[in-house]
Structure 1
Amino acid sequence: MKLNSAIYVGHVVHQRHRPKKHHLRYRVFSLLIDLDELPVLNDLKWFGHNRGALFSFRDADHGDGLPLRDWVNRQLASEGLGRAGRIRLLCYPRILGYVFNPLTVWFCDDAAGQPLATIYEVHNTFRERHSYVLPVGAEQAADKAFYVSPFIDMDCRYEFRLTPPGDKVRIAINETQDDQPLLYAAFTGDRHEMTNAMLMRLFVTHPLMTLKVTASIHFEALRLIAKGIRIRWHTDRKTQQHASPAQITEPQD
């Protein structure tokens, strides 16, 4: 049986434009998981759903404790959108039990299989999470509503650009401040079948990748400090679940 679920292998790129230029590029991979296929994926030797395995996916790493389909539909309803049919998410897996997902992207189709909405679920290093729920069909943009980086102010705006999962996937985010480019971030990956052989290959070629993600965040922070970028301390710690309609706005001319 050919699965909708897959593995995307590629690169994460960040390009900071100001006040000091800064560039990073790392080789990573992400899993595209169809929620309806989790029972089938759980039969793989090297992958586990809500259980220990070389690679695993745990429901508790996402959403708010509700069953994931219920959480997604509640997010959609909060923005006046209909219930989802097929739900897929692009994320890092746990590797040997550890994961940190800076961004999980949820692709939500309607009952007829047509794209309905995208949920951008953002995590920060304070174990907080926030979701931007954006309908498909218009330019996807939102005012920043959640503390992520200690080197970027809150008065910013995100513009999202997607190439939906196919032979390739691309997630690109342009962050602006005062209508000027501030940071460009993107993941581009090539599709591979999700098999035991591919999972073992990735364990060899990307050992402890999720630990490296966390280590790289701190390494790049040290580089920014060395360049003299001012730190913005996180003084209002609270978990927000989704952006309100007032925070999701169309781009201004």
Structure 2
Amino acid sequence: MTGTPALYPCTVSHVRTAPTRYALRHRTYMWLTDPDHPPRLPLPLRPLAGFDARDHFDGDQPTIRAGLDRFLAGHGIDLRGGPVTMLAHARVLGHVFNPLTLYWCHDPGGAPRCVVAEVHNTYGERHCYLLLADDAGTTREQRGDHVTVEAHEPSRPARSPEATRPSEPLRTPEPLRTPDSAGPAGPTRPASRRAQVPERQQNPPGREPHRAEKRFYRTEKQFYVSPFFPVDGAYRMRLPLPDDRLDLTVRLERAGTRPFTATVRGTRREATAGTLLRAALRHPWSTLAVSAAIRVHGIRLYLRGLPVQPRPRNRSQESDT
């Protein structure tokens, strides 16, 4: 893997089916990057995208990767320096709000170890879910020199791999570089002696054409997000590592029902100055707009008579300013 970042203009959709039906959609953009090497922006553009360790995990580590490693160590996981790919909103004009940040974690040879889902609510609180690679069954289908990995629930038969349609990348003059980039694509990591995978090392985060992963994870809900749902039930998440397309699904399951589903759909764009400027002009104050939209829709649901559930105490987000 390399630290070359990417931008995903995307649409976020929420569908609520109980206790009343309600749906919303909004457009935004997200970053896919290596937390070891966050993007280095030209000075005039730096207010449009910042990645601060205070905005993630406990907020007291020198880097985002250090915060992730400490969280994993608390659960007995050591990546031994293996690559990590992060999907998140950046800090825009001094404001940050990340409803969901994802970290795809690999061992030094590139094999997936786990996914960390970091959730923030609008009350300045955050919580991390550790999703292990063995939480879901997988089916491997060999196709010549390619391996397709499709996940399915152990009780269900494997599905046929979905056909993907690669999108044409947006051509812009010069990609943004990470702090230690030796060229437009940045340096590559040394391959593990146990598993030589140069193709994985030479492709940007999420762009590994020789392997596609579609994994489903299930975890108990432990964190207060919507004021209209109590902290019970479980999440079922479909979290494939983004490639040319971003395609995520998070579904809440309660008492045999599925009252809430969120999806994120987007298309990859090379992270260049031009791409960032266009995204920022189309979605000014993007993180503030996301936070405001959630509150506006919450008010609408409250006016429809949905009862508010009591909120348990949780750790505050130190840097939601």
Partner of 1:12: 12
- Does residue 57 of the first structure (1) align with residue 51 of the second (2)? yes
What SS does the aligned partner of 1:147 have?
coil
- Spell out the pairing of 1:189-228 with structure 2 (5 A cutoff): 189-228=266-305
Moved over 4 A (4+): none
Question: Once superposed, what is the RMSD of the aligned Cα atoms?
Answer: 1.9
Question: Which residue is equivalent to 1:166?
Answer: 243
Tell me, yes or no, if the aligned pair for 2:48 and 2:92 is still in contact at 8 Å. Answer: yes
Q: C-alpha distance in 1, partners of 2:73/2:95?
A: 32
Q: Deviations over 1:163-212 (max 9, x none)?
A: 21110122211101112111000111110011111111111111122111
SS at match of 1:212: helix
The one-letter code matched in structure 2 to 1:110 is D
Partner of 2:218: 141
TM-score between both structures, scaled by the size of structure 2: 0.68
Aligned counterpart, 1:121: 118
CA contact (8 A) 1:122 1:129 kept: yes
**Does 1:69 find its partner at 2:65?**
yes
Structure 2: 5+ residue stretches without partners: 137-216
Shift of 1:79: 3.0
By how many angstroms is 1:85 displaced?
1.1
**Post-superposition shift, 1:220?**
0.5
Q: C-alpha separation between the residues in 2 aligned to 1:45 and 1:166?
A: 28
Percent identical pairs in the alignment equals 34
| Bigger CA radius of gyration | 2
AA matched with 1:200: L
1:24 is aligned to: 24
CA contact (8 A) 1:46 1:200 kept: no
Amino acid at match of 2:57: G
Q: How many residues align?
A: 233
Instruction: Tell me, in whole angstroms, the C-alpha distance in 2 between the residues paired with 1:122 and 1:46.
Output: 30
Matched AA of 1:196: A
Deviation by residue 1:108-138 (Cα, 9 ceiling, x = unmatched): 1111112211100011122111100111243
Structure number with the bigger relative contact order (C-alpha 8 A, sep ≥ 6) is 2
Structure richer in strand, relative to its length = 1
- Is the 2:124–2:316 Cα contact (8 Å) retained in structure 1? no
Cα distance in structure 2, aligned partners of 1:160 and 1:5? 24
